[in-house]
Amino acid sequence: MESVKGTTVQITDEGPTSQNAGKGLSTVTTLIFSAAAGLSVANVYYAQPLLDAMAQDFGISPSAIGLVVTLTQLGYALGLIFIVPLGDLVDRRRLVLAQGILSVLALVAVATARTEAFLFASLAAMGVLAVVVQALVAFAATLATPAERGKAVGMVTSGVVVGILGARFFAGLLADLGGWRAVYMTSAVLTAIMVGILIRVLPRQLSPNSTESYGATLRSIPVLFLRDPVLLVRGLLALLVFATFSTFWTALVLPLSTPPYSYSHTQIGLFGLFGMAGAIAAAGAGRLADRGLGQWTTGLSLMLLFAAWGLIAMLPVLLFLLLVGVVLLDLAVQAVHVTNQSIILARHPNASSRLVGGYMVFYSIGSAIGAISSTMAYAQAGWTGVSILGAGFSALALIVWATTLRLSAAEAQ
């Protein structure tokens, strides 16, 4: 029981009371969670290679079309703060299914939008509902046994990263075949199919063991991170590694879309497929966290992340080295991300949804910082500037890890 500014916040570590909670997840069910998470998060990133087509269709100026990405990300951030924590208060099964059904409607609205205002409103709604991803991560962590929590989180999170990296390629390819609207309509159909599958596999009678009000639950999020140094450090690491991640993926299109490469959006999207290899390989980081090796897994991954930028910086010289760097970068970022979530979810199992929501706010801030600063760095110093920036974020994350090694005992699973 904690009290902050007169507000009593009850956090217990017994986990939710349910016939299904803590009894484990089958591999098939975990893979379905992973696929659903990847499909949902991809909705946030489809627009990136479609901006030109959208601007032409609606007669929107190049400067204003950036609102497509901004509003989607803003909606996602609002969903993290106001929807994800509901998983600690209501039936998670109903919450996930409701978001899935509403996502189908939002995707159809985007695909059929005829006015600029309706398009922007639909994209913002879609962003809000895309946070079903985090509900699935928290759901999986709750259902898994303590000994397999990291493994489950790792598999589901791998689906998230695959969705992020695959979205650009999928959107570019499908848009080339049927236009940008086909991307969102196809996603609506796939999401509807996934909702049907989730109706069959999501366990029933999951009742969170909480008597808190919605307002108290929201207020408890900063309390948790400010009062638990391990959570705060893991949040800071998330901010820095995703600033690195966003630095690379935001700026990559700039040199590759101009001579001597002059690649199309679809061709540039292929680079995401190389990143998938690293992201999938990092799923094992959750197993290491389950064994109490989360701190050292983090350190080794951050060293690898810093080294990856040495290869990425070689883009003007040898493209092959860039590809190797992409694999290493996504492997390292994903390993840290999985380890972070495994550790924070193990500390307060009964607050898993709000922990995921709060943690992902750090993620969003880091992504925004990386996106903004990378384009500025490229404008000032080209790809070398981007590489120095990414390496700088990586080095800072490594310093944060090294100076907080004393927390390793507190992280023991």
Q: Tell me what pLDDT residue 412 has.
A: 44
Nearest to 283 by CA among 162, 411, 135, 164: 162
> What are 258-312's pLDDT values in tens digits?
888 888 767 877 887 887 877 777 777 877 877 878 888 999 999 999 999 999 9
What pLDDT was estimated at residue 62? 61
Distance CA 377, CA 357 (A): 30
Q: 54 pLDDT band (50/70/90 cuts)?
A: confident
Model confidence pLDDT, tens digit, residues 337-384? 989 988 898 888 878 888 988 998 898 888 888 878 888 898 899 999
Looking at residue 7, what is its pLDDT? 42
pLDDT digits (tens, 9 = 90+) for 173-215: 888 889 999 999 999 999 999 999 999 999 875 556 667 788 9
pLDDT at res. 102:
97
Structure tokens at 54: 């959208």
Query: What confidence tens digit (pLDDT) does each residue in 59-115 have?
Result: 887 657 667 777 887 888 889 989 999 988 888 899 999 999 999 999 999 999 999
DSSP category for residue 203: P
- pLDDT tier for residue 4 given thresholds of 50, 70 and 90: very low
Provide the pLDDT for residue 309: 98
pLDDT value for 125: 95
Residue 18, pLDDT above cutoff 70: no
Share of the chain above pLDDT 90, in %: 43
Cross-strand bridge partners of residue 9:
2
Angle between helices 92-112 and 132-143 (to 10 degrees): 160
pTM score: 0.80
Interval 140-160 mean pLDDT: 85
pLDDT score, position 129: 95
DSSP 161-175: HHHHHHHHHHHHHHH
Judge whether residue 12 has pLDDT over 50: no
Q: What is the mean pLDDT of the segment spanning 27-32?
A: 91
Report the pLDDT value the prediction gives residue 6, as an integer from 0 to 100.
40
> For the chain, what is the mean pLDDT?
85
Query: What is the pLDDT confidence band of residue 407, given thresholds at 50, 70 and 90?
Result: low
Give the per-residue pLDDT at 237: 97
As given in the structure block, the two tokens for residue 304 are 């690898």
290, 277, 364, 336: CA torsion to nearest 10: 30
| Upstream peptide bond of 260 is cis (omega within 30 degrees of 0) | yes
Which DSSP string corresponds to 279-345?
HHHGGGHHHHHHTT-HHHHHHHHHHHHHHHHHHHTTTTT-HHHHHHHHHHHHHHHHHHHHHHHHHHH
pLDDT greater than 50 at residue 1: no
Q: Which amino acid is it at 107?
A: L
